[in-house]
Structure 1
């Protein structure tokens, strides 16, 4: 009897030791990859590893588990993450849950797979809600557009078996079943043959519905093409834009049989997940139809609002406190379009197949002499910053820590020139310095004046300051706008001219390498317009999934359910090298594929007045109408490879490189005047 008792004690001891080891491993993983700091003392809040939406735990199941140990004030399940947070009413309740749940094996209700929970205490957690809360411009979702009886009749009208030999028979694609009416959509060229209509036209049952849509103003023209898609759970459709030249503006899609989450993505990288309820109508017009991609991620579960079980129209992650998993069911979509009979003349020529040739004619070429370089910079740097100055300034308010460190390290009373000062965000960093700024943009210098900062207009190649009069200079994100190596070197030489012997200059330029030492830069990680929002109890979400870092039992399902709209494998960057000398247009928030390129700036909040001149850099705006609809401007950049900036500096006899480093997607150098 004593021997058996000893064996049991040993077995329990080994089990506890194993649980502790995996708990500590989870703790380190959460800190390293998610920025979640665990503590050793008891608190009201717990982080539960392996119990998240990302690995198949639903809100209902987790709430049922944690409620056994006390009053749950908050349950927070970050989207697509394999962990969750729970806050109890008291620390004692949290300790009780910690003791009972740490190392506990549970079965995922919807998946029938066992997982092991690993618990840690946390003091403060915060949640990055990176998903925008507004619909893409021009997009509408109309709920209950048809009755359940109408839905039944429309679904029964589609014979997936009986007409396999007819011209409008189904196609069985890898991701779904498809049928076409009116005109067949050809997937080899993503277009329709306008001279070969299918016999029979659209199904008769659709006429009353389309008349209703015309009357309500959802469409301007009666559609003559219908694509019916049937999606089984786990199926989807890759992100795409319906070919501009194939169809007119409004495209409408009816969701029948089940609800679905559709992902929309803007060219600048930010995405919006939209819930399409059963019997709802999706209307895509304007920007949402022509500029944003839309697609359905192949998976068997969607992350939805728990309170309304996915019935909420709009973004489905607007409230990160109320998310759960929703099992997909068979969904059939009726997508109606009007075949276009003339070329598309939309205001988005950068993604328009009808205007691609015209756009390439307008794209500037790489400069081959000083005159061409000066003209390129005038049109694609100077004029652009004059146009976007106010919007640009509104996005430039947080000083970079290492630049602040450089300025605060300078002796009291130092005279410092900020060459290319922009809106002057560094001019007031250290009140013990005498700082003056200069910039090529008059509108940016005017903004400095409004802040009572000292700044004047000049070119960085010719700064009207006496030689040797500055103790220090900074040049932040300026030199990469010069379009030849000679002009970039001249701008560095001009900085050296301003310095007294022993004076120092700090230079920052964009790096070609946006992923350095296995770490992605903020440029790749951040989404346009996103800001961290701290909540009373919220979760820090990092950019990397935790699936490969968690114990094996926590990995299940994450690879499928967490897959982003575009995982990069199929993404085609517009910054690919071109066969001629035309400068490629970069796709924002993606890696660079060319050193010399044009980077889009999507102007927000400002409109052009009629008759006012438009900078030629905004060639993607295309028409007068576009001047009043958030034009897209393009700035020239030369992104520097590792060692390139340092080599240029070393080619000057009058300076020496004190140090060089990489800082969040920038190559940086500190020079000393000899």
Structure 2
């Protein structure tokens, strides 16, 4: 092959590779963002890889686009890895399409990325609604001079602590000092009877007196926490513990600006810019009800125009860019509360919540009572809201149902809102659930469903070709009752019938991969990272998905209990059940998982208004999360079954069992 043919071959190979990646980018935009491209030239282009979400700022992208023609608008949606550019003419857009497609650009991290451009009829994205600052929140810019900033930063001695009048700690992603009172991260509180000697540094006396005189604060703080953040680090969303501090909490930002995210229990999120040398004041609803946190990242999405310094980051995609973070030091000042909190937000108030969690059951009667109170009653209360969050069937359960022979009789034990009852129209499926309200929802959807206990299903033995039990058996509170639920599924199967079983897994990370349950919480919530406040269960902001999680810790003990048939050791029977923080790893196999039942929007709120719904009550559901191998061990205690398959599926353990025929009983099991 001569050199000319060789170069043509390489060029064609490169073109084919580029074409494949361009088509992939187009399909990805359509699938995940609903952005439809067109094959003919228009004035508008979508630029894949050229967005704020993958560290490309307006100042990096716009000059490259302007070399191809007059840019009417560059629209950069927040947190998206793409942008839209509109040229004055279609010819200019076509020039950009030819010139920039497949070309490299350097992002704000100094890394090279390749742009892929496609024509669109018009720019389209999911716009953020109009937002306002959370009630009771105030940001005061330039609260101190640059000279005072330097003096305050130099007053914090991070290298030594000679006078022992404050407490210094090095957490995973930041350095912390406490003055006045030490904040204890293990219980998110202060010891009110043990103030630190020396109180607040003298340098704060004149500053606080000035703020009091100007009416910026109402109470003189007696506790100070200093946090120093490196670029790229943040702090989990939290509410400062109600019982620990009075209403007013203020925070001074020095060294670098930052975007802090405020989130209402209803899910409304408001990003707030805190400029350098600004004061954040939280009172009322913003202090007691909204969580606040800082997402760990090296760039923040901010307004590009100079007129916007503090306050809300708007949804004006024509005026957004990136701001690189620097080292930020925050001085958070609070007044320690000496009496219980009696705020108007009892749902999230530790002073007003039910204080005593239930004990671990020590007998079959106690187990039944625990399940009645923390499983059956809860699902009756949350049935409607629960159903609204359970609409997407799990793919591997769908595959199981679609693979069954036409005409098979299938029992869905613990059917919930019936999302699996209509998957395969060729099957005859019957749903059973303890909740009257969930069964009513199934019937409203024209599914066959009746009230039934998973320990005593009202169906003749050996009558089913298959059974499914999806995210049910983990609600039984002793090993004996979990095995009894498995035995009941076997009873329903004809010889040769199969059962698919899913239970929550303790492993949040399996084979070096995080489950969706953890991936959706992008802020690490390790104990060493908890801010000076109570971490709020994510159920106040997001509901637990119908996936479960497991971890190998404690697996041997659980298997021993099952093999010996003795339930749980007496040493733990009187232990209090811990309350789990949603979207975090499990630290106990037996626990209570919060469910925040949203209230309805206030009657005085107009449709589409920014006002969030009233917070509803928090319910706690009992779970036993399964260790790896624990479900298989439970099935092996049964007779006449064969394990066909076991696997881990996004935080759930699943088994597929087969009930043996007279000559060879089998039973498949699956755990989720």
Q: CA deviation at 1:39?
A: 13
Correspondence 1:248 to 2:206: no
**Greater mean deviation of Cα atoms: 569-578 or 659-668:** 569-578
How far apart in 1 are the matches of 2:28 and 2:76? Answer: 17
| 2:96 is equivalent to residue 97 of structure 1 | yes
Q: Secondary structure at the match of 1:374?
A: helix
Q: Which residue of 2 aligns with 1:120?
A: 116
Find the partner of 2:392 among 398, 404, 412: 398
Match of 1:633 among 594, 619, 642: 619
CA distance in 2, matches of 1:456, 1:232: 56
Structure 1 residues 470-549: aligned runs within 5 Å:
470-526=464-520
Shift of 1:266: 8.6
Q: What is the CA–CA distance in structure 2 between the aligned matches of 1:629 and 1:663, rounded to whole Å?
A: 33
Please point out which of 430, 434, 439 is paired with 2:428: 434
Pairing 1:664–2:650 present:
yes
Q: Secondary structure at the match of 1:508?
A: strand
Alignment pair present for 1:648 and 2:648:
no
CA contact (8 A) 1:268 1:589 kept: no
Q: Which structure 2 residue ranges, 5 or more long, are not aligned?
A: 538-549, 555-570, 602-613, 662-672
Tell me the distance in 1 between the aligned counterparts of 2:227 and 2:527: 25
Q: Distance in 2 between matches of 1:409 and 1:472?
A: 11
Q: CA offsets, 1:283-333, max 9 Å, x none?
A: 43467535766455687743213357654633x375667531125689886
Tell me if 1:447 matches 2:441: yes
Per-residue deviation, residues 251-307 of structure 1 (Å, max 9, x unmatched): 234668975312457999998643235786634346753576645568774321335
User: Given that residues 231 and 327 in structure 2 are in contact (C-alpha distance below 8 angstroms), is that contact kept between their aligned partners in structure 1?
Assistant: no
Corresponding position of 2:337: 340
Residue 462 of structure 1: how far off its partner (Å): 0.8
TM-score normalised per structure 2 = 0.68
Is the alpha carbon distance of 1:582 and 1:230 closer, same or farther for their aligned partners in structure 2, counting shifts above 3 Å?
closer
Map 1:405-416 → 2, pairs under 5 A: 405-416=399-410
Q: Structure 1 stretch 406-415 or stretch 262-271: which is displaced more?
A: 262-271
Shift of the 170–29 alpha-carbon distance from structure 1 to 2, 3 Å rule, reads farther
Residues 482, 271 of structure 1: alpha-carbon distance in 2 compared, 3 angstrom cutoff = farther
- Choose which of 219, 228, 240 in structure 2 pairs with 1:222: 219
- On the 8 A contact 2:256/2:276 being kept in 1, the answer is yes
The answer to whether the Cα contact below 8 Å between 2:53 and 2:82 also exists between their aligned partners in 1 is: no
Partner of 2:58: 59
TM-score (norm 1): 0.68
Is the contact between residue 600 and residue 632 of structure 1 (CA under 8 Å) also seen in structure 2? yes
Q: Tell me the distance in 1 between the aligned counterparts of 2:498 and 2:234.
A: 55
Matches within 5 A, 1:375-394: 375-394=369-388
Give the length in aligned residue pairs.
591
- Note if contact 1:524-1:589 (Cα within 8 Å) is conserved in structure 2: yes
Q: What secondary structure does 1:142 align onto?
A: strand
What SS does the corresponding residue of 1:435 show, helix, strand or coil? strand
Runs of 5+ in structure 1 lacking a partner?
1-5, 528-563, 608-627
Question: Whole-Å Cα distance in 2 between the matches of residues 485 and 171 of structure 1?
Answer: 46
User: 2:130 & 2:501 partners in 1: Cα distance?
Assistant: 38
Correspondence for 1:261 = 259
Q: How far apart are the structure 1 equivalents of 2:636 and 2:68?
A: 66
C-alpha spacing 1:496/1:631, structure 2 compared with 1 (3 Å) = same
Corresponding residue of 2:321: 324
Q: Deviations over 1:580-615 (max 9, x none)?
A: 5333322211232332222111221269xxxxxxxx
Q: Distance in 2 between matches of 1:435 and 1:288?
A: 49
The offset of 1:246, in angstroms, is 4.0
Provide the rounded CA distance (Å) in 1 between the counterparts of 2:349 and 2:21. 44
1:419 maps to which of 407, 413, 419? 413
CA contact (8 A) 1:139 1:283 kept: no
**Deviation of the 1:671 alpha carbon:** 3.2
Distance 1:657 1:43, change over 3 A: farther
Distance between the aligned counterparts of 2:59 and 2:363, measured in 1? Answer: 67
SS at match of 1:381: helix
Secondary structure of the corresponding residue to residue 69 of structure 1? coil
Structure 2 CA distance for aligned equivalents of residues 651 and 163 of structure 1:
62
Higher RCO (CA-CA < 8 Å; seq separation 6+): 1
